[in-house]
Amino acid sequence: MKGPVHLFALFLLAGAVPALSSGSGIAPTGALTGTLTVTAPPRPKVSAANSGNGLFYDEDDSSATRHVLPEEVVVYLENVPGNYPPPKQHVQLDQKFLQFTHRVLPVLKGTMVDFTNHDPVYHNVFSNSHMNAFDLGRRGKGQKAYVKMLKAEVPVNVYCEIHASMKSDILVLENPFFVTVSPGDKFKIEGIPAGTYRLVAWHDYWKPVEKEVTIEKGTTTQASITLNEVQK
């Protein structure tokens, strides 16, 4: 992914635009921009054979080598006031090459998440989360199920009961002021109500980073982020 990522483009595609209420029109807003830098050690590589993919996919086959997922960091703001209806369009967290299609997936509270099995084996996707627990049962290739993420929670750990190496984290957030960004890329979040908030950069392997940011009306706040530690 190259170049800034724009939040509102994402929401236009999803069919939902954040609703900001201020009594007499649109609330004063600003923007947040920065660069995500990672100096922490990289995630250890796992071969297809060690992950279980080698049982069903040939590592020399180009279709099998596409199973390696890029690293993604979720950058989001906490405690932003406003009423934000979830998007009508569902979000996808599929199973392919014996893994989930995202290691980290941010969604707005109330979003529907679809789970489709694309593998030639059964999966049993579940979460033992405190607030968004679910168990989809055993499903074969081509079968789909969905879950509505009703309560804000970071993270909702998602697993496969059959394949212990499979894991994903869903971040169920209170507001739509979030973006997914790759290491070394710039990010931009727009339309943020003026105020002071906690900015969080969250990753499943690197230690998350938090900082305070102030958003002012009609201006763009700079807040670059560096992830420099691995989670203990």
DSSP output for 129-150: -SSS-EEEEEE-TT-EEEEE--
Q: Find the range with the poorest average confidence among 31-45, 54-68, 148-162, 209-223.
A: 54-68
- Note whether 203 and 148 are same-domain residues: no
- Note whether 167 and 122 are same-domain residues: yes
Counting the structural domains of the chain, the total is 2
pLDDT value for 19: 40
What tokens were used for 82? 């406003």
- Note whether 30 and 6 are same-domain residues: yes
Query: Domain range for residue 224?
Result: 1-18+25-40+73-84+183-232
pLDDT value for 57: 53
Residue 57 maps to a domain: no
Q: How far apart are CA 223 and CA 35, in angstroms?
A: 8
Answer left, alpha or beta for residue 98, where phi above 0 means left and psi between -120 and 50 means alpha. Answer: left
Residue 7 pLDDT exceeds 80: no
Name the more confident of 45 and 140. Answer: 140
**For the chain, how far is it from start to end, CA to CA, in angstroms?**
28
Neighbour count for residue 84 (Cβ, 10 Å): 21
pLDDT value for 46: 67
- Note whether 79 and 193 are same-domain residues: yes
Mean pLDDT of 73-97: 96
Residue 60 maps to a domain: no
Contact assessment for residue 56 and residue 90, using Cβ atoms and an 8 Å cutoff: no
pLDDT digit string (tens) for 173-217? 999 999 999 999 999 999 999 999 999 999 999 999 999 999 999
Residue 58 maps to a domain: no
